[in-house]
């Protein structure tokens, strides 16, 4: 069962998603989504080597109380972790400095 637990957790992981945003000023701007603000900040630093301004950011840590691999069946556990609310989420919008 621990192997299945690890497989399910890896299957539920998502990388950083980057979406370019349009701006009136012509500056590069991005909407970043992932599971950790630290990782999003590192990605913003990579995308904006001259620096950036954070327009908005938030992070939530999700956890379903009392749910672990031993307390539920594999199918139930897979269903639980498929919900976004059960995973940490982070979002950051940045504008690159010229």
For the chain, what are the domain ranges?
A: 2-96
Structure confidence at residue 88 as a pLDDT band (50, 70, 90): confident
Span 25-48, average pLDDT? 95
Kindly report the average pLDDT of the chain as a whole number.
Answer: 78
The predicted structure's pLDDT at residue 90: 94
Residue 82 has pLDDT above 70, yes or no: no
Q: What is the pLDDT of residue 34?
A: 94
Comparison of pLDDT for 85 and 46, the residue scoring more: 46
Sign of the four-CA dihedral 86, 88, 93, 96: negative
**Angstrom distance (rounded) from CA 81 to CA 76:** 9
pTM (two decimals): 0.63
Model pLDDT, residue 98: 85
Q: Using CA atoms, how far apart are residues 34 and 67, in angstroms rounded to an integer? A: 23
Per DSSP, the three-state class of 91 is: strand
């Amino acid at each position: 069962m621990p192997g299945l637990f690890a497989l399910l957790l890896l299957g539920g992981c998502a990388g950083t998603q980057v979406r370019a945003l349009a701006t009136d000023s012509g500056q590069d701007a991005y909407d970043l989504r992932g599971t950790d603000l630290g990782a999003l900040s590192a990605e913003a630093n990579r995308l904006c080597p001259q620096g950036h301004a954070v327009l908005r950011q938030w992070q939530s840590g999700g956890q379903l109380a009392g749910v672990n691999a031993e307390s539920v069946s594999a199918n139930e556990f897979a269903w639980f972790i498929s919900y976004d609310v059960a995973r940490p989420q982070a979002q950051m919008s940045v504008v690159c400095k010229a």
